Amino acid sequence: MKKLFATSLQATSKQWRQNGLRRSLATAVTPPALSATLPDPVASMGVAPSLYNNYTSGRWLYNESQQMALRTTPFHVRALFARISWLFGADVVHVDKREGLFNKSFIVTLSSGMSLVARVKNSIAGPAHYTTASEVATMDYCRRVLGMPVPQVYDWSSRADENGMGCEYILMEKTDGVQLSTVWRGLQPSAKRELVNSLVDTEKRLLATPFSHHGGLYYKADVPAHLQASTLYGDPEMEARRSEVAEFCIGPTPVRAYYENERTTLDIDRGPWLTCEDYLASIATREEAWIAHHAKPNAHDDPFSALGSTSTAAEHLAALTQYRQLVPRLAPPRTAEGKARASVLWHPDLNTGNVFVSTSDDAQPRVSGLIDWQGCWAGPAYLQLALPAFLEHAGMSSGKHQHLPVVPPGLGEMSEQSQYVLMSDHRARLLHRLYELRQLLPYRVGEHDVRTIPVRIAGNTWRNGVLPLKLALRNAVEALPEEPSVHQTTASDVEDAEAPVVSAGGENVEDMLAERERYVDGHVFSEYVRSSFSICLHGWTDAEAYEQKKQDLDDVERMLDPEVVEGMAHACALPSWWPSHDSI
């Protein structure tokens, strides 16, 4: 890995110094005003600016006004397109809007024939300034230092109130190839295997440069000095060569969970963190601060996640205190499995829409681009590395000593259709295991799920209920040996020492298990409703299907058994649990 890092630096450092990223253009140059020499692209295409500002790619079955408000970004459309014309010396002749839940992306075609991507950040995407500044620095680092196929950034601004556009934006290269989502199902098994190998090889470059701290990657110019980690790399040899990447630093995390709702106003620890334990503890202190001051239903809540969350604030705070007590045991041991504790960058959402592949008749498909690095940060490898969703097979168990899947016995005696189904399933299992063996296993830790599940759910107890955390902590107490604390004692540690320690033999185990049974029953029913009506996250649905789904939900609600209605209402913390009604 060190050799790969050094080779990459030697190959790119000269070009980097000569061509450096145009990082200051967006704030140092005032965007040109529209004039007779700069055509108005919005007017010429006959599109109202509101169609660019508003969310237009779907509807919500509940809490729609709140969800729409979170995704309305009233930026100056004409000013943005005029800037593009000015930067590239060509008129904007066509704009194709692509929209996600957190950003608005526009495929912009110029009169010169060039196409590029203009992406505008919605407020829901993450913290002002840090979200965009970190993403741009991360993309630049991955592209120039690690040599990864990441879009080149042409121009950007993370200061919406200073740039004349009224929004944070990134202008970037349009990625070569096609989205994996458009070809994955039709690929031959050998092509899928080679594509997985290509993806693994591409991602391994991220593991070549472990960092000294956990947090977001930034340009130093974008982070106050007191929030910059003193070092960049965890490896002394790499740190000695830091002058070649002197403009980068590790700073506060850009992860949305540390800023959403009122959390952005709280005085909480957002990093950078020196150790795994520091990061794990910050999850609890963040939620404790928010629950103590602001806990209430909000637009991120929905009836599906609110089941079983009728606990009081005191119960949530008690569980989070117990979680913090267990942090030294949840973190990987310092004496072994050192890779697992390493701070590494990792793509936060590697779905088939964010992976681009090259296609040709005479070659196997290869990864040609990875897009959407928003929210990427440097964190503990054992938490960061995860199986991409499109490779995950529900029937596969994880762990360090799993065997390769075998062909089902008696396959040759089955019908042709049965053979096809079973072999398709077998090949999917093989791809799952291939990625796991090549990428994940070196970074797995003993009792991996027991260690990671509490960390993943501790930050969502108010939204999803405190019971899952209680159960996960109980499992951790039973499975993990006690480890002496090695981080410096803090005031919160002294307070925790006076709290009751989590016990594997709790007094209310039977009550907890009975509560778990009710919790599971409620979620099984709600999942049945969600899947039956094809309801996505937070009640999102296609605009074309909205009216019919609303009507169908209302019709079914009128036919529900009164006992079911009463039971679900009792289990849900929100004013309404049926997904055709607003829950806040």
pLDDT in tens, 387-442: 999 999 887 766 555 678 888 788 778 888 888 888 898 999 999 999 999 999 98
Quote the pLDDT of residue 574.
Answer: 61
Give strand ranges (E) for 89-168.
Answer: 92-99, 103-110, 115-121, 153-157
- Rounded-to-integer distance, Cα 51 and Cα 54, Å: 6
Least confident of 106-110, 169-173, 410-414, 486-490: 486-490
Q: Is the pLDDT of residue 6 over 60?
A: no
Region of residue 177 (phi > 0: left; psi between -120 and 50: alpha; otherwise: beta): left
Arithmetic mean of pLDDT over the chain: 84
Task: Name the pairing type of β-strands 378-380 and 343-345.
Answer: antiparallel
More confident position, 490 or 250: 250
What average pLDDT score do residues 281-305 get? 82
Contact yes or no for 269/240 (Cβ under 8 A): no
Confidence of residue 504 (pLDDT cuts 50, 70, 90): very low
**Beta strands 355-360 and 363-370, pairing class:** antiparallel
Count Cα atoms within 13 angstroms, Cβ side, for 126.
Answer: 24
The number of CA neighbours under 13 Å toward the Cβ of 520 is: 7
Beta-carbon neighbour count of residue 399 at 10 Å? Answer: 12
Q: 36 pLDDT exceeds 60?
A: no
Task: Give the separation between CA 395 and CA 121, rounded to whole angstroms.
Answer: 37
Listed range (8-22, 255-269, 454-468) with the worst mean pLDDT: 8-22
Calculate mean pLDDT across residues 314-341: 90
What pLDDT does 402 receive? Answer: 66
81-84: long-range pairs with CB below 8 Å, 24+: 81/41, 81/42, 81/108, 82/31, 82/32, 82/33, 82/34, 82/38, 82/40, 82/41, 83/31, 83/32, 83/155, 83/165, 84/108, 84/110, 84/116, 84/118, 84/171
- Cα 452 from Cα 404, distance rounded (Å): 24
The whole-angstrom separation of Cα 15 and Cα 22 is 13
Rounded to an integer, the average pLDDT of 305-321 is: 79
Residue with tokens 């309801």: 535
> Which of 238-242, 296-300, 494-498, 510-514 is predicted least confidently?
494-498
Q: Residue 375: its pLDDT value, please?
A: 97
Cβ atoms of 319 and 470 closer than 8 Å: yes
Structural domains in the chain plus CATH codes = 39-174 (3.30.200.20), 509-572 (no CATH)
Kindly provide the residue ranges of all beta strands, DSSP E only, lying in 165-247, ordered along the sequence: 169-173, 178-179, 216-219
**Least confident window among 33-42, 158-167, 177-186:** 33-42
Give the burial class of 521: count Cβ atoms within 10 A of its Cβ; 0-12 exposed, 13-18 middle, 19 or more buried: middle
Give residue 505's pLDDT band: very low, low, confident or very high (50, 70, 90).
very low
User: What pLDDT, on a 0 to 100 scale, did the predictor assign at position 40?
Assistant: 56
Q: Looking at residue 401, what DSSP letter applies?
A: T
- Comparing CA positions, the residue from 152, 122, 198 lying closest to residue 12 is 152
pLDDT digits (tens, 9 = 90+) for 139-152: 999 999 999 999 99
Query: What sections of 394-466 are H helices per DSSP?
Result: 416-435, 448-457, 461-464
Can you tell me whether residue 288 is helix, strand or coil?
Answer: helix
Report whether pLDDT(259) > 90. yes
First to last CA, the chain: 51
**Beta-ladder partners of 24:** none
Query: For residue 32, what pLDDT band results from cuts at 50, 70 and 90?
Result: very low
Q: How far apart are CA 122 and CA 103, in angstroms?
A: 5
What are the CA-CA distances from residue 141 to residues 2, 107, 373, 406, 574 (Å)?
16, 24, 12, 41, 44
User: Torsion over CA of 160, 163, 169 and 172, rounded to 10 degrees?
Assistant: -160
Q: Please report how many Cα atoms fall inside a 13 Å half-sphere around the Cα of residue 423, on the Cβ side.
A: 12
Question: Dmax of the chain from CA atoms?
Answer: 78
Least confident span in 22-31, 46-55, 175-184, 298-307: 22-31
- Summarize pLDDT for 46-83 with one digit per residue, the tens: 556 678 899 999 999 988 999 999 999 989 999 999 99
The whole-number average pLDDT for the span 210-232 is 98
Confidence of residue 331 (pLDDT cuts 50, 70, 90): very high
The residue-averaged pLDDT of 487-509 equals 47
Q: Buried b vs exposed e over 361-394: b needs ≥16 C-beta within 10 Å?
A: eeebbbbbbbbbbbbbbbbbbbbbbebbebbeee
Nearest to 132, CA basis, from 168, 163, 98: 168
Q: Label residue 10 by pLDDT band (50, 70, 90).
A: very low
Judged by average pLDDT, the poorest of 170-179, 291-300, 337-346, 456-465 is: 291-300
Greater pLDDT, 191 or 513: 191
Out of 5-14, 199-208, 470-479, 561-570, least confident range: 5-14
**For 224-243, how does the pLDDT look when each residue is reduced to its tens digit (9 = 90+)?**
999 999 999 999 999 988 88
For 370, phi and psi rounded to 5 degrees? -125, 125
Range with lowest mean pLDDT among 275-284, 331-340, 526-535: 331-340
Please report which confidence band the pLDDT of residue 319 belongs to, taking 50, 70 and 90 as the band edges. very high
Model confidence at 492, in pLDDT bands (50, 70, 90)? Answer: very low
What is the distance between the alpha carbons of residues 181 and 580, in angstroms, rounded to a whole number? 31
| pTM of the entire predicted model | 0.87
- Give 77-103 as a DSSP string: HHHHHHHHHHHHTS-EEEEEEEE-SSE
